[in-house]
Every structure is written in structure tokens, then in C-alpha cells.
């Protein structure tokens, strides 16, 4: 049976059914350094990576970038002379 992924290469996509069918062989490839993306109907749902690999989820990375950006904006923004609650009350119709 031909290997899907060469160790040290970028992540390769593999369908969930094929991953289930050939799990033992895929685990051996991952042990050698391969990274696999498991898909369902062509959409990525999971990654199979070596146990000693440092994995950082994109969601966390995006959150970190958002926090840095929001802190920058907060330090650059200036507060007006009135609190926001006063402005909101003034804008409401009675």
C-alpha cells in the first residue's frame, strides 16, 4: 500500500472513511513526522499530528491578535467629557 504523506511534508488531506480504514498505517506515518488533515465531505475537521508536536490552534492565535489590537485601540482612544450613559440617555426619545 502506497504512503499518502512523506514525513516532514506539509499537511495532507485524507477522508474520514479512509482514515478509519487505514488508521494503523496513518499513525505510523504520523509517528515519522507526517501531519494529516482529516476531512468530512471535503471540509477539514481534525488534524493528526505527532504527539510531541507543539500545536497552537488558529482560534487562539486569532484571539491573541484581536486582544493586542483592542489594547492598542484602547490606548489611542480618548474619552469625551461625558460618560457614554449620559449620551445614550440624551439620544433616547421620551
**Average pLDDT of the chain, as a whole number:** 80
Q: Which residues of the chain have pLDDT under 50?
A: 1-3, 5-8, 94
Q: Within a domain: residue 2? A: no
Question: What is the β-pairing status of strands 36-40 and 12-15?
Answer: parallel
What per-residue confidence (pLDDT) applies to 67?
Answer: 87
Q: Within a domain: residue 5? A: no
- Distance, in Å, from the CA atom of 39 to the CA atom of 43, rounded to the nearest integer, reads 5
How many structural domains comprise the chain? Answer: 1
What's 49's domain CATH number?
3.40.1620.10
Q: Within a domain: residue 57? A: yes
Instruction: State which residues form the domain around 61.
Output: 12-78
What per-residue confidence (pLDDT) applies to 13?
Answer: 93
Amino acid at each position: 500500500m502506497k504512503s499518502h504523506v512523506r514525513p516532514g511534508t506539509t499537511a495532507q488531506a485524507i477522508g474520514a472513511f479512509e482514515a478509519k480504514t487505514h488508521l494503523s498505517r496513518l499513525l505510523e506515518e504520523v509517528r515519522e513526522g507526517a501531519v494529516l488533515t482529516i476531512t468530512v465531505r471535503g471540509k477539514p475537521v481534525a488534524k493528526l499530528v505527532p504527539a510531541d508536536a507543539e500545536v497552537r490552534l488558529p482560534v487562539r492565535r486569532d484571539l491573541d491578535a484581536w486582544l493586542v489590537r483592542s489594547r492598542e485601540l484602547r490606548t489611542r482612544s480618548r474619552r469625551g467629557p461625558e460618560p457614554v450613559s449620559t449620551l445614550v440617555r440624551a439620544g433616547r426619545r421620551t
